Amino acid sequence: MNKNLWLKIKESISSVLPISVVVLILHLTIAPLPLGTLILFAVGTPLLILGMGLFTLGADLSMMMMGERVGAQLTKSRRLTFLICIAFIMGVMITIAEPDLQVLAQQVPSVPNMTLILAVAFGVGVFLVLALLRILFQVSLSLMLVGLYLAVFAIAAFTSPDFLAVAFDSGGVTTGPITVPFILALGLGVAAVRGDAGSHDDSFGLISLCSIGPVLTVLILGMFFNAEGGAASSSAPAAVENAGDIFRLFAESLPHYAKEVLIALLPIVLFFLVFQLAALHLPKIQMIKISVGLVYTYIGLVLFLTGVNVGFMPVGNLLGAKISQLSYNWVIIPIAMLIGFFVVAAEPAVHVLNKQVEEVTGGAISRNSMMAALSIGIACSLGLAMVRVMTGVSIWYFLLGGYAIALGLSFVVPKIFTAIAFDSGGVASGPMTATFLLPFAMGACEALGGNMLRDAFGIVAMVAMTPLVTIQSLGAVFKLKTILAAPIAMADEELEIIEL
């Protein structure tokens, strides 16, 4: 087996194993699962592991290189109109094809699927342009985020409460495993051409800005559509009675996700090929490497989505329902926090971001510190989400407080931590959130008789919000250590001079 692939698979095993153990312990103790559902989970887990390993290797070989080359070429052209047009088209095309967005659109009642998808895609296209212009013109990310989120909350005040959670969720699902590696690398490519001292700090932040566009457009849709005309579709699992049912579910799902991933990857590949023929002219050896990486990416994502949708989604739904029906159902809050702590490690795009952060910062921000900050943030978000499901408290209170703290921190921590934090919020809310955590919340909400749109939806928004605080807190600690270390370093230098 390819040495790099084996290393990626070992990383995947260490990421997926903890959440699998948690599910097994819950099954053996307080939330026994049907045998068929448990077998689906057992079959889906190895698919998840192999898929994540192939995807992360493929992203390294193809998506990252493609994004960096395109970003650098767009900047070198020195034609602002060209950059704006290409960035907008690219943002719209990638978003329309994002599988997670298709899933969300099917869950929202009273709004035609394509209307929601096009609105979200338009928002991503516009904000991808703004994100690239910010890098070129060195605009402060903190000031942009404050202004844009003030606009978001101002518009939210005039929008139907049922659309609030869905709007913030849409910002998370659009930054999926296909778009994240490409957009991250695009920012690095644009910043690299700029080449000044602050270019590394500005290379992050694209994901954070691209996540705001969909929130704004869906909030505006909420002014014109009435969500009370329908109910969110249930995520209850399909009945599984024998081995034939299990085989049938996987056999039907594999070609479905193969088609979805092909549709999602195709716009990026075609776009890159046009760029290659018109401007890049990369050597044959690099194109072969990119092609191999795309094959790995495709196969990996197909296996991952099949495993997580067929194997993990029904388990999430049943666990949420069973735990919420216990006489001591408050225990769902710490259990959700435990699940959240481990489940973020199973998000493919998280590994791409952590690797990129470690490389760009020269190891100053390590993968392990990033993962720890993300895990703590997601654990907090799941705990708060379960409080909402059990009490019906409006998501308004959590979002206003969370974003106020995050935006306040952005003015006191190093710039790069702010950009990475707001990027990580979008990255952490990927397929595992949509297909395990959201069904978990929906199962609990349905069992408790809550409002699905107001109480269960919003979990993606919570997952996207809390890392903004935890990673910037990591930045505050980093800054404090730097300040405290400075006098010691100066004293050492003075001592060396005296000794000389």
Q: What is the pLDDT of residues 369-389, one digit of tens each?
A: 899 999 999 999 999 999 999
Give the CA-trace dihedral at 262, 263, 269, 275, to 10 degrees.
170
H/E run at residue 271: helix 243-275
Nearest to 105 by CA among 173, 164, 161: 173
CA distances from 51 to 9, 48, 308, 421 (A): 9, 5, 10, 26
CA atoms within 13 A on the CB side of 82: 11
pLDDT band at 161 (very low <50, low <70, confident <90, very high): confident
Please report the pLDDT score of residue 484 as a whole number: 79
**Does the pLDDT of residue 22 top 90, yes or no?**
yes
Please report the pLDDT score of residue 179 as a whole number: 77
Look at the chain and count its residues: 500
pTM over 0.85: no
Please report the pLDDT score of residue 229 as a whole number: 46
pLDDT band at 463 (very low <50, low <70, confident <90, very high): confident
Q: What is the pLDDT of residues 306-326, one digit of tens each?
A: 988 888 888 998 999 999 999
